[in-house]
Amino acid sequence: MENSIELQNVSKKYKDFELKNISFNVPQGCIVGLIGENGAGKTTTIKSILNITKSEGTIKIFGKDSVKNEKEIKEETGVVLDDSFLSEYLTAKQVNSIMKEFYKTWNEEKYLSLLKQFNLPTDKLIKDFSSGMKMKLKIATAISHNPKLLILDEPTSGLDPVVRNEILDIFRKYIEEDETRSILLSSHITTDLEHISDYIVFIEKGKMIFNLPTDELLENYGIIKCSKEDFTRLNKKDYITYKKGKYQYEVLTSNKNNIRNKYNITTIDKPSIEDIMLLYIKGEK
């Protein structure tokens, strides 16, 4: 399987933060979810991929150097960032006119169809749109030149569940239409990623914690609910982190079957991605 994005030891040092040796791939035909708390390094990673932030390491998009081939890569990439868009004193119709000049492959029919689907007015100034309407316009703009790759930073943030589902459906259809397409999707709404992503990349304090297939992550990881006596029996090699509660311990393991067989502990919950992330961040090692 070919990769749309390849990151190898991508690093960036700021005064009060450091992104350290981030390496992962976004395979063709796949949706990769990027998770981590605010300030973990998700946006720095995305801006490094887009060459907005100059970082160390190797970044290839469609097998090409992301810096040397930036112009042709951008033609094939749709981007949604929180802090970048056209002037809010434009209308959706005017955005269409600008994008027709900007992208050779701009599909006016598709764009206008998405505006209709999203119930977005064509003649109203963007500044008068709600946050949900603005995000839907960004997404419509990002996918209307039929890019091979979508890079999305918190595209469902601040949206109600109905609109979020609508947008996730569009991402699914976008991938289904062409098996060479890919999406890199950063989100702190981990339930969205459970439903849509093929892989999960978890970054915490600038370091990559794991890069795993979503189904493997949800199948193999477990949260052990146990007494202090059972907890003291556990070998540190068999769990990742733990949290001490009032009446019991919560212990995160990446191999729940091993715990069952080795220690005969059966009270193991199937965690959500959010459960896993929170125990990694808040738990004791």
Residuewise pLDDT in 10s, the chain (285 residues): 799 999 999 999 999 999 999 999 999 999 999 999 888 999 999 999 999 999 999 999 999 999 899 989 998 999 998 766 678 899 999 999 999 988 889 999 999 999 998 899 999 999 999 888 888 899 999 999 999 999 999 888 878 888 888 889 989 999 999 999 999 999 888 988 998 999 999 999 999 999 999 999 999 999 999 999 999 999 999 999 999 988 899 999 999 999 999 998 888 999 999 999 999 999 998
Distance CA 165, CA 163 (A): 5
Same domain as 98, residue 18 = yes
Assess whether 157 and 76 both reside in one domain: yes
Same domain, 176 and 120: yes
For the chain, the helix, strand and coil percentages under 3-state DSSP, each to the nearest 5: 40, 30, 35
Residue 238 phi/psi, 5-degree rounding, is -95, 0
CB 58 within 8 A of CB 7: yes
* Alpha-carbon torsion (42, 37, 27, 256), positive or negative: positive
Residue 97, amino acid: S
User: 182 and 251 share a domain?
Assistant: no
Same domain, 190 and 136: yes
Residues 61 and 73: their CA atoms lie apart, in Å, by 7
Number of domains observed in the structure of the chain: 2
Domain region containing 249: 221-282
**Judgement on whether residues 236 and 212 belong to the same structural domain of the protein:** no
SS3 63: coil
Same domain, 144 and 7: yes
Tell whether 125 and 250 lie within a shared domain. no
Residues 34 and 175 placed together within one structural domain of the fold: yes
Whether the model pTM is above 0.95? no
| Same domain, yes or no: 155 and 203 | yes
For residue 96, report the phi and psi dihedrals to the nearest 5 degrees: -60, -45
Q: CATH number of the domain at 180, please.
A: 3.40.50.300
